[in-house]
Structure 1
Amino acid sequence: MPIASEPGPGAAPAGADPVPQFSEWRKGVAGVLAKVRRVEIAELPDEPEHLLDETTYDGLTVAPLYTRRDELPEHPLPGAFPFVRGGDATRDVHRGWYVSAHFAGPDAAEVNREILAALGNGVSAVWLGAGERGVPVADLPAALSGLLFDLAPLALDAGAATAEAAERVYAALDGYDTASRKDIQVCLGAAPLTSRFADAANIGLAETVTLAAGAVARAETVCAITVDGTAFHNAGASDAQELGASIAAGLAYLRALTERLDIAAALGQLTFRFAATDDQFATVAKFRAARRLWARVAHVCGAPDFGGAPQHAVTSAAMMTQRDPWVNLLRTTLAAFGAGVGGADAVTVLPFDSALPAGELGVSKSFADRMARNTQLLLLEESHLGFVQDPAAGSWYVEELTDALAAKAWEFMQEIEAEGGYSAALDSGLLAERVAATRAARDTDVAHRKTSVTGVNEFPNLAEPPLSEQARRADRIARYGATFEALRNRSDTYLAEHGARPKALLVPLGSVAEHNVRVTFIANLLASGGIESVNPGPLTVDTIAAAATEAGAPIAVLCGSDKRYGAEAGAAVEQLRAAGVETVLLAGAAKAVAELEDAQRPDGFLAAKIDAVAALSGLLEKVGA
């Protein structure tokens, strides 16, 4: 909610352009764009910089430059409505956010050892799986033995066993000796509404309300409900959809809770969990916008001071890759940075190999957990990100993105409410349809390599060992690189059956300067589908047949300049077909060989904007993969 602010001492006079150099910058942009597009400056629009705009999956525009023209009024300090800058005005800057880690396993004693070791090495909050998701409920006291509850917040992940797990935790708390019981923070993790979207087991809504009523009566600070936005994110939702659906679910909880509790107590029973991705600025804006949205709900309900619900950030499972999983270390670092700067109260970094079965990479669980933990510790203790609350405040880009994202999420929440509320939107399929549409759009961008997934559709490593059968099984998470990884799985199967990967011959025409860019592009493209490139070096029409015979590849790709194609492509195609190559492709567009006769034309074209998944799948089919 905007607030008025006085102009600063350096503000431009009323009516003056706050950025007088902007017109000169615009002329520079026009000059560069005209040169790149090979047009006259007069042919460009009046505001040529908008040709560089990007559009998110929510339809939000990201401009190439933000200036004082985009300045927005300053929000209140952290801890005050609308909580954009943080929910806690007195957060310990030496601690920053809570470093949370997830623990789960059937052996309570082993889980207890892991928890205590992690707490001694930098973890400051415990997220514990119980029941079918981890420690047997009856063994929870053993798993929590030695935990200093007033120092380390506890969050449960117990699914259908949440109520029973809560009783076990309460029993442990009753035997815990401390004078400051309000300092003990426990989240029971009941999530019936978001679990229903994810088709995951959980307790019912009525049981959740009863659990919340019991939580309010406790002397400790106990929160019964987690609004788990990662359920939407992992299904493919955009940021605004994740936020809007979460706020709609939160509203449904409030309606149920206020039948037994007053509004202030009901608001205190909710915490939110959101996914943090490697798009760091979008993540910063997401957590700031989420607080603004929920603060608005609390304000409308008449309790604005109680709208600062805690936030738990979890690094995105959807962005994680199975191929070249070491890159996940970079992804989770960016995600943790964004969540921390965005003001999340607790952050959990998933281990870099979390998209793979345990032991798939041959590294120990303790190593993967340590890397996840230390990612946050380096950000906090060496980069000192916790020393300043809301360090992104005042950034023209972040503030604009926060406002735009909040508005779009509110719009989606209103669409859900117009459908009859969260449960009605689930029943009608509206929520699933909207999320599926975003997932399809993202999959299309990845397939066309408009969106890069390093190690998967860009810079793949074909020397990686094949994945196990267990790793190849599809999961419920809409991972961004899954379609390309499915192609790699087919290549692995071919390798196991034939002792070698599917191969394609590269046919470099002309000098290195003429063909190098396209040779590199094609080798990268083919490898993303599990097809190995054979590059014999520069070839002439007279040496092509011999190279094709030696390679023995059923596929060949001509690589050269458009000018070279005009002179040699037809003869090269004839030579390759005479040598027994079944499929001849050309790196580039069809217009480069438009004048060739049908007998000399390639069988297909591999250009930058093709649907790479479809093209590579077709090539794998041709070789029997």
Structure 2
Amino acid sequence: MPIASDPATEPVPEYAAWRKGVAGVLAKARKVDAAELPDEPETLLTETTYDGLAVAPLYTRRDERPEPPLPGTFPFVRGVDAHRDVHRGWFVSGRVTDADPAAANRRILAGLENGLSALWLGVGERGVPVAELGTALNGLLFDLAPITLDAGAEVGAASEALFAALDGYRAADRTAIRVALAASPLTDEFAGIAGGTLDEAVALARTAAARTETVRAITVDGTAFHDAGASEAQELGAAVAAGLEYLRALTAAGTDIADALGQLEFRLAATDDQFATIAKFRAGRTLWARVAHVSGAPDFGGAPQHAVTSAAMMAQRDPWVNLLRTTLAAFGAGVGGADTVTVLPFDSALPAGELGVSQNFADRMARNTQLLLLEESHLGHVHDPGAGSWYIEDHTAKLAEAAWAFMREIEAAGGYRAALAAGLLAERIGATGAAREADVAHRRFAVTGVNEFPNLAEAALSEQAREPGRVARYGAAFEALRDRSDVYLAANGARPQALLVPLGRVAEHNVRVTFIANLLASGGIESVNPGPLEVDGIAAAATESGARIAVLCGSDARYAEQAGDAVRALRSAGVQTVLLAGAAKAVAGVADQPDGYLAAKIDAVAALSGLLEKVGA
């Protein structure tokens, strides 16, 4: 009888050759001998997530994990529904927040006619008045289009109004009518949003459980943690901890555990890190399945997942790039098995009408992002297409372990509400947000159009757009610098400027000129580039530009020869701040030192803020 091989220990013949190639490339890039590199040089290419999880540069069958069960079976890692319509895929949800019930109804029906298959409807202060909810829903086929409410503190009244509309609706199979009332008091409290109470949510769940339709009263809104800066594991762990709190409250009120599990769904953020998003939704199902199993009801652990594209990743500057971000996010959520996906409009980080485009256009682009993925790329035709990928399976398992550890930390603090009151959640999530903010500031975390490849020709934003919001957006610090530049432009007729001083041949300075121009523009500072300069022409160029800031750009070898003379020439021309593109070691021993250095690893936000202050912005 043959002995089965173990993929984890079986050698991969091609791996040694690949490792040798990696060593050669790294040695050349680092200008060292290959013998000076670690025995496993590929570890130098490993990335670490904010959860401390290692992402290797290459995965092979040595990383293979046991194949998870099929969709629809415990632990639901591959999906909660084994019979999902592959021609429909996930539900394409659209958000409607019109206060005018007639306008809301028109938007709802137009969206459904043009590709939406689910609705997320704002009610009360977040949309249509509660009393007019029936008008807004007129003509809606409830058994074909699931509906999710967003009513905040008015969720009780909104639910009653919705139930009244459902009572007058005829359906052959009322269980086909799917409704999420979306009471979310625990996560609302974390986010500082006015919401209902836990007791009200429990009472609503008991009412919902008695309905003949498929109604889930409570939404565990993980986006509240994500929007505050949480990592993937923190979002999942905190969401599971909140879910446990709901389960305890429901069962304490006399609800059976199976019915209690049936009253919860999860809302999670989908980001443009597509593989992290795929793993997050798969891991999220694994975690909740484990909770249901421990609770004695493993068959009821398949809670629906509502994916919403990340509000934190959305940029106000060059917002058209948000179309790419949301496409990647929707792809990740869909491949990851989310049941419903909402793509936020590309201009959602801006006040309505800020870009001069209609809401219909923005909504259509958000809707079509999903329709292209479903109807042209056919992503819904395969259940869990990421299954079997060594990387995705490994990252799913590791992410689930990290999230479970965070949930246990919350439980050890006394549970979700105790951890929230003690500040544990805010402290842990705040630390992650600060780490990401530092990475953005140092440009280790790229936000295209904001801290990389900015467009200084963009029109200034309105004062309303500059008001701080609840969401900790990734590019906010750089966008605040751009706002200061816009104010300066309005007052002076020109943006803050810095003179670039290219030294030597183009081949010597081109890389640093490009780097500095991009860096300065990310802070709203316009570069004045007169082209290659000889030392004796620097003073004239500085005088002509009138710039109070100048940046020397060249090779280290050229700096050793000319930096001192260039610094003297600039200062003689009245330039107040002379900077050098590169590190201080490039001018070690030079008598006339620049005032500062702009290198790849600097805190760009701090450096650019200081330069804006120097010119009065």
- Normalising by the smaller structure, the TM-score range is over 0.9
Matched residue, 2:176: 183
Query: Contact between 2:7 and 2:63, CA under 8 Å: does it hold in 1?
Result: no
Query: Contact between 2:124 and 2:130, CA under 8 Å: does it hold in 1?
Result: yes
Query: Contact between 2:9 and 2:62, CA under 8 Å: does it hold in 1?
Result: no
Matched residue, 2:187: 194
Matched residue, 1:295: 289
Matched residue, 1:560: 554
Residue 444 in 1 paired to residue 403 in 2?
A: no
In the aligned structure 2, how far is the partner of 1:88 from the partner of 1:380?
A: 18
Matched residue, 2:162: 169
1:106-185 correspondence runs (5 A): 106-185=99-178
Q: 1:429 to 1:15 in 2, by over 3 A?
A: closer
Equivalent residue for 1:383, pick from 354, 377, 384: 377
In the aligned structure 1, how far is the partner of 2:8 from the partner of 2:341?
A: 44
Q: Which amino acid aligns with 1:143?
A: A
CA deviations 1:276-315 (Å, max 9, x no partner) are 0000000000000000000000000000000000000000
* Structure 1 residue 555, shift from structure 2 partner: 0.3
Matched residue, 1:73: 66
Q: 1:377 to 1:72 in 2, by over 3 A?
A: same
Query: Contact between 1:457 and 1:525, CA under 8 Å: does it hold in 2?
Result: yes
In the aligned structure 1, how far is the partner of 2:544 from the partner of 2:53?
A: 53
In the aligned structure 1, how far is the partner of 2:506 from the partner of 2:526?
A: 20
Equivalent residue for 1:392, pick from 386, 400, 414: 386
1:205-224 correspondence runs (5 A): 205-224=198-217
Matched residue, 2:328: 334
* Structure 1 residue 42, shift from structure 2 partner: 2.1
1:513-592 correspondence runs (5 A): 513-592=507-586
Equivalent residue for 2:310, pick from 308, 316, 329: 316
Residue 47 in 1 paired to residue 33 in 2?
A: no
In the aligned structure 1, how far is the partner of 2:13 from the partner of 2:218?
A: 51
Matched residue, 1:404: 398
Matched residue, 2:273: 279
In the aligned structure 1, how far is the partner of 2:444 from the partner of 2:18?
A: 27
Query: Contact between 1:558 and 1:587, CA under 8 Å: does it hold in 2?
Result: yes
In the aligned structure 2, how far is the partner of 1:254 from the partner of 1:329?
A: 38
CA deviations 1:487-517 (Å, max 9, x no partner) are 0000000001101000000000000000000
Residue 38 in 1 paired to residue 31 in 2?
A: yes
Q: 1:14 to 1:584 in 2, by over 3 A?
A: closer
Query: Contact between 1:447 and 1:611, CA under 8 Å: does it hold in 2?
Result: yes
- Structure 1 residues without counterparts, runs of 5 or longer: 1-5
Q: Which amino acid aligns with 1:618?
A: G
Q: 1:376 to 1:541 in 2, by over 3 A?
A: same
* Structure 1 residue 41, shift from structure 2 partner: 2.2
Task: Name the SS of the counterpart of 2:13 in structure 1.
Answer: coil
Equivalent residue for 1:601, pick from 593, 602, 612: 593
1:470-509 correspondence runs (5 A): 470-509=464-503
* Structure 1 residue 18, shift from structure 2 partner: 4.1
Query: Contact between 1:81 and 1:304, CA under 8 Å: does it hold in 2?
Result: yes
Query: Which TM-score applies when normalising by structure 2?
Result: 0.99
In the aligned structure 1, how far is the partner of 2:395 from the partner of 2:329?
A: 17
Q: 1:619 to 1:14 in 2, by over 3 A?
A: closer
Q: 1:78 to 1:608 in 2, by over 3 A?
A: same
| Aligned-residue identity in percent | 75
* Structure 1 residue 338, shift from structure 2 partner: 0.1
Task: Name the SS of the counterpart of 1:258 in structure 2.
Answer: helix
Equivalent residue for 2:604, pick from 612, 615, 619: 612
Q: Which amino acid aligns with 1:93?
A: V
Q: 1:537 to 1:72 in 2, by over 3 A?
A: same
* Structure 1 residue 7, shift from structure 2 partner: 11
Q: 1:15 to 1:84 in 2, by over 3 A?
A: closer
CA deviations 1:105-131 (Å, max 9, x no partner) are 210010000000000000000100101
Query: Contact between 1:70 and 1:400, CA under 8 Å: does it hold in 2?
Result: yes
In the aligned structure 1, how far is the partner of 2:190 from the partner of 2:406?
A: 16
Q: 1:153 to 1:515 in 2, by over 3 A?
A: same
CA deviations 1:352-372 (Å, max 9, x no partner) are 000000110011100000000
Task: Name the SS of the counterpart of 1:27 in structure 2.
Answer: helix
In the aligned structure 1, how far is the partner of 2:30 from the partner of 2:574?
A: 41
In the aligned structure 2, how far is the partner of 1:274 from the partner of 1:384?
A: 23
Q: Which amino acid aligns with 1:606?
A: L
Q: How many residues of Structure 1 are paired with residues of Structure 2 in the alignment? A: 616
In the aligned structure 1, how far is the partner of 2:92 from the partner of 2:543?
A: 59
Query: Contact between 1:504 and 1:554, CA under 8 Å: does it hold in 2?
Result: yes
Task: Name the SS of the counterpart of 1:334 in structure 2.
Answer: helix
Q: Which amino acid aligns with 2:22?
A: V
* Structure 1 residue 22, shift from structure 2 partner: 1.2
In the aligned structure 2, how far is the partner of 1:442 from the partner of 1:552?
A: 37
In the aligned structure 2, how far is the partner of 1:32 from the partner of 1:477?
A: 41
In the aligned structure 1, how far is the partner of 2:37 from the partner of 2:58?
A: 18
Task: Name the SS of the counterpart of 2:535 in structure 1.
Answer: coil
Residue 621 in 1 paired to residue 608 in 2?
A: no
* Structure 1 residue 14, shift from structure 2 partner: 8.2
Matched residue, 1:3: none
Residue 351 in 1 paired to residue 363 in 2?
A: no
In the aligned structure 2, how far is the partner of 1:507 from the partner of 1:464?
A: 26
Equivalent residue for 1:231, pick from 211, 224, 234: 224
Query: Contact between 1:518 and 1:560, CA under 8 Å: does it hold in 2?
Result: yes
In the aligned structure 2, how far is the partner of 1:417 from the partner of 1:15?
A: 34
Q: Which amino acid aligns with 1:231?
A: A
Of the structure 1 ranges 33-42 and 393-402, higher mean CA displacement relative to structure 2 is found in 33-42
CA deviations 1:400-432 (Å, max 9, x no partner) are 000000000000000000000000000000000
In the aligned structure 2, how far is the partner of 1:544 from the partner of 1:470?
A: 43
Query: Contact between 2:95 and 2:119, CA under 8 Å: does it hold in 1?
Result: yes
- Structure 2 residues without counterparts, runs of 5 or longer: none
In the aligned structure 1, how far is the partner of 2:376 from the partner of 2:258?
A: 38
Q: 1:584 to 1:398 in 2, by over 3 A?
A: same
Query: Contact between 1:12 and 1:18, CA under 8 Å: does it hold in 2?
Result: no
Task: Name the SS of the counterpart of 1:557 in structure 2.
Answer: strand
Task: Name the SS of the counterpart of 1:558 in structure 2.
Answer: strand
Query: Which TM-score applies when normalising by structure 1?
Result: 0.97
Query: Contact between 2:316 and 2:347, CA under 8 Å: does it hold in 1?
Result: yes
In the aligned structure 1, how far is the partner of 2:142 from the partner of 2:271?
A: 30
In the aligned structure 2, how far is the partner of 1:190 from the partner of 1:532?
A: 49
* Structure 1 residue 38, shift from structure 2 partner: 1.9
Residue 374 in 1 paired to residue 372 in 2?
A: no
Q: 1:13 to 1:439 in 2, by over 3 A?
A: closer
In the aligned structure 1, how far is the partner of 2:510 from the partner of 2:409?
A: 51
Residue 57 in 1 paired to residue 50 in 2?
A: yes
